[in-house]
Amino acid sequence: MAATSVAVFFGGPSAEHEISIRSADSLIGWLSAGGLAVGAFHLRRDGRVGTATFAPLTAGDGEATALSRARPASTHSWGGALESLAGGKFDAGFPIVHGTLGEDGSLQGFLATIELPCVGCDVLASALAMDKQKTKSLLMATTELRMPRGETIAPHEAADEVGLIARLARLALPLIIKPVDGGSSYGLSRVTERAGLPVAIRLALGVEGSTGALVEEQVVGDEVTCAVIGDAARGIESLPPILIRPHHGGMFDLEAKYTHGATDEICPAPLPPSTLARIEAAAKAAYRAIGCRGFARVDFILADGVPWFLELNTLPGLTRESLFPRAVRAAGLELPALFRRLVEDAMHGSRARAKAAR
């Protein structure tokens, strides 16, 4: 019997292009180690699609060189890539395109159109979670989660600096500014004086793919994150929360996130059981409210034992330094087995939805 075949999509047009490549390298290794055949679809910056195929790993193959085993790879227009996706060659699609195109529901919609089961969140959940302000609005209406006060600034509003400062006067300093729809801490900054707001907002708006800047009151506390997985057989499960403490004592910014040894990422977080339970319950509440499936990661600031919601990531990073794989291992799970399980759940769910539609 032929191995289940998965089309992995990575790259994309956003500032997170290189992070996505690193995530794909890990993911392809784990999927292959789980006995799955993999097709790689690299969404290049020039608009073309690079493709390659991987057989399941055999004894002696290493995970770390997954993408290097793609040579030689071919390059297509989207039409050519569509031909290779059609005809039942693949059993499921797995987007790991962080940011624009992959995390905003676009790829999920494409996969639905060609009737290829999609691993992870669907179009609606992806699009909602991509916009941090819309996510907060929904959670405010449907949950009891705490979250910082904030405002979203559209690009056309940034030119009126005087009006901008006046509009944000209701928010207490210090303020955290970041793209409303970006990740990996690109464009993130902290402002302690209102005169610094215009520059910080322009920085957030200048991130590739950014459609707005989110300005929030800073909640003082430790950053924690909690991964959640869900499938039809086991329901929704939280993984051990991770306590994040950058060595420089500041924010969990791009440097702290991706510089080896720059941050202590302690998993399981050394917190009281009641606090851990509160974090896990909050993460599952956000996951349910957004309508997630598959896997996600929810970020909080922990202040006086209370988790304050920051954002929900429907395609969390899967690099060697990323938080989601660390939480999986801390839970005693094997990454190849987990991702195989999520692929099989996506295939099962797609068949069930198709049957119900008939």
Q: State the CB neighbour count (10 A cutoff) for residue 208.
A: 16
Which range marks the domain in which residue 213 is found? Answer: 150-217
On whether both 164 and 53 belong to a single domain, the answer is no
Residue 64 in this model has a pLDDT that exceeds 50: no
What does the alpha-carbon distance between residue 101 and residue 206 come to, in Å, rounded to a whole number?
18
Residue 39 in this model has a pLDDT that exceeds 70: yes
Residue 71 in this model has a pLDDT that exceeds 80: no
* pLDDT tens-place string over residues 213-259: 999 999 999 999 999 999 999 999 999 999 999 877 666 655 655 56
Known catalytic residues? 16, 184, 258, 297, 299, 311, 313, 317
Rg of the chain's alpha carbons, rounded to an integer? Answer: 20
CATH number at residue 107: 3.40.50.20
Last residue of a domain, which of 201, 217, 233? 217
What does the alpha-carbon distance between residue 323 and residue 307 come to, in Å, rounded to a whole number?
18
pLDDT value of position 133: 93
- Comparing 175 with 252, the larger pLDDT belongs to 175
| Helix (H), strand (E) at residue 2 | none
Number of domains in the chain: 3
Is the residue at 354 inside a domain?
no
What does the alpha-carbon distance between residue 18 and residue 184 come to, in Å, rounded to a whole number?
11
User: Could you give the 3-state DSSP secondary structure of residue 347?
Assistant: helix
Is the residue at 164 inside a domain?
yes
On whether both 254 and 137 belong to a single domain, the answer is yes
Q: Given pLDDT bands bounded at 50, 70 and 90, which one contains residue 7?
A: very high
Is the residue at 239 inside a domain?
yes
CATH number at residue 159: 3.30.1490.20
In 3D space, the residue among 31, 337, 48, 65 whose CA is nearest the CA of residue 8 turns out to be 31
Backbone angles phi, psi at 212, to 5 degrees: 180, 165
On whether both 136 and 253 belong to a single domain, the answer is yes
Query: What average pLDDT does this structure show over 37-52?
Result: 90
